[in-house]
Amino acid sequence: MRGLGWLSVLLSVLLGASPVAGQTLFTWPDMAVDVSTYTTVEECHAAVLRVTESVRRNEFFLHRVWRDTLPHDPVEDVKPIPPESQEAARSCGARFSDVEAQPVSEYRMLVPLYLAAGWDDKARALVKRRMDAAAREGEAALAAALDTVVHVYSGRTGTAAWGLSLAGFPGLSVQPPRFDLVTEVVDEYLPRVSDRLRRVKILMAQVQLARFGALLLDSARIEWAAPQILTLVDSLSETEKAQLAEELTGFTEDKDELEKRLYREVYRAVESASKRQVLLDSLRHSTAAYVREYRRQYPRAVDIPYGQPAPALEADVWLGCGDECVPRPAPGRVSLVVFFYHDVVRERPNDLHQCIGVIANASGIRAHCPRLVYTLRRLADRFPELDITIVARTHGFFGYLKEDMTAEKEAELLKRWLESFGVRAVIGVTETDYWRLPNHDRRRIDEPTTNEVNYSFDGPAGPRPNGWSVLIDEDGLIVYDTVLQPDSRSFAYESQLIEMIEALLERNAARR
């Protein structure tokens, strides 16, 4: 009985205790971060990026929109940072708000922070200090500083593709890009730069920004810069042309190939909306008229394949075409030939419709999915009369499957994988010749396929870039070529491809 008495006393104490007192024992500590106490600009960059990422994550979980399956929206390119991010920039950047007190050497870090906080005048003042100091150092320093400022204002702060700056920490970029500030600084300081190669690169950067998304398109500025760029490129030495071509394209072929790539890159960059419309109008008339207009507008674009017959495609395995697989491209059809390398497939082979994970970045949550496939699906759904042929090659594996691989098995797995994403197209797979490096490496080195050699009209024979696409008219003549990768950098190329397809299909329908 004595034990029961003690038990009753204990129960009465527990039942009589205040519930509020019990709850206070488990209250979460105050985890709010006071960014105004941060002492370095790097910490402020990280704070603004964290807040931005948090806002975009919350937006995703609220709306459940997977952006990787959608076409690139140019509105995203000019969307301002969230108000919460601006407040973080203001609070954290308060200790750096006295422009005259800041070392001019920190301008690359401070300018994006100032603009994120909405302090345009402070950004302008700091840039002017940097440019004036560079001018006193000499023309080379002035040109280098101008190039850097243009890139900073354009939203490119020297960050690498994986989101880390050259210093190794997350870099805050200018969002949205400030074309107005680029124009101001170029107009003021570019006349002082006599180095032709530097002038070309600075003008090219400005033109690229002028074409940055539909909402920033400034045709007048492009038409102002285009003749200057072309004149300067023509005046460069062979060494300077090779250097510029390598920087613009990333390729290091022989001199003739580099110069050809250089002019194609420049012509595409300076193409204005009015010139583009004239080309489309001529294409609606005929491919011959289109080629004549293209050569008139771009006389230095030598060896372009436009207007030439498209080479016949070869394959060891054809799927998705029944008994009528050849010839390809199909006569009488508007065709799109797409080179696709399934060694980039990262899905689990036993779960073909699933992606391996998600990554978060400043622009929202994106699935690590094959975005090229979604572009192909959009094109196929939008243009059912377009004949799409996917050109592939064997690699000796598919995903994580490596044993007993044959060309037929790789082709079938690729077909299943594409169909799991809604892409139904004719697939031609070539069994690749290869050799191996000596022991102990034994790495497989693939030889170019016949299709790659025949379609290498924009460079040396070898693997085409993944997504390399060639548009062919109903008479089998090449009309356009581009690389389909649906991100902000190549969205304009996808849009141009759509315009070309529409023009060809309209022309073909009118003939009937």
Q: Is residue 131 classed exposed, middle or buried when 0-12, 13-18 and 19+ CB atoms within 10 A define those classes?
A: buried
455: exposed, middle or buried (Cβ count in 10 Å: 0-12, 13-18, 19+): buried
pLDDT value of position 370: 65
Greater confidence (124 vs 359) lies with 124
The single-letter code of the amino acid at 292 is R
335-339 and 387-393 as β-strands: parallel, antiparallel, unpaired? Answer: parallel
> In the CATH scheme, what architecture does the domain 309-511 have?
3-Layer(aba) Sandwich (3.40)
CA distance 335 to 476: 8
Give the amino acid at 200.
Answer: V
pLDDT at 358: 31
Render pLDDT for 269-278 as a digit per residue (tens, 0 to 9): 787 778 888 9
- Helix (H, G, I), strand (E, B), or coil: what is residue 160? coil
Task: Report whether pLDDT(455) > 60.
Answer: yes
**Could you read off the pLDDT of 160-204 as tens digits, one per residue?**
332 333 333 447 889 888 989 999 999 999 999 999 999 999 998
The residue extents of the domains of the chain are 35-193, 197-304, 309-511
Q: Is the pLDDT higher at 311 or at 16?
A: 311
Q: From residue 294, how far is each of 31, 50, 298, 501 by CA, in Å? A: 62, 47, 6, 17
Please write the tens of the pLDDT for every residue from 57-109: 887 777 766 666 666 666 777 788 899 999 999 999 999 999 999 999 999 99
Q: How far is CA 68 from the centre of its chain?
A: 12
Separation between Cα atoms, residue 54 and residue 480, nearest integer Å? 42
Inform me whether the pLDDT recorded for 47 exceeds 60: yes
Tokens 């508007």 sit on residue: 334
Which position has the higher pLDDT, 451 or 157? 451
> Can you state the percent helix, strand and coil of the chain, rounding each to 5?
55, 10, 35
Q: With H, G, I as helix, E, B as strand and everything else as coil, classify residue 454.
A: helix
- Both tokens of 156, joined, read 């490119």
Q: Give percent of the chain above pLDDT 70.
A: 76
Q: Which two tokens stand for residue 166?
A: 């050259």
Amino acid at 191: P
Q: What is the pLDDT of residue 362?
A: 31
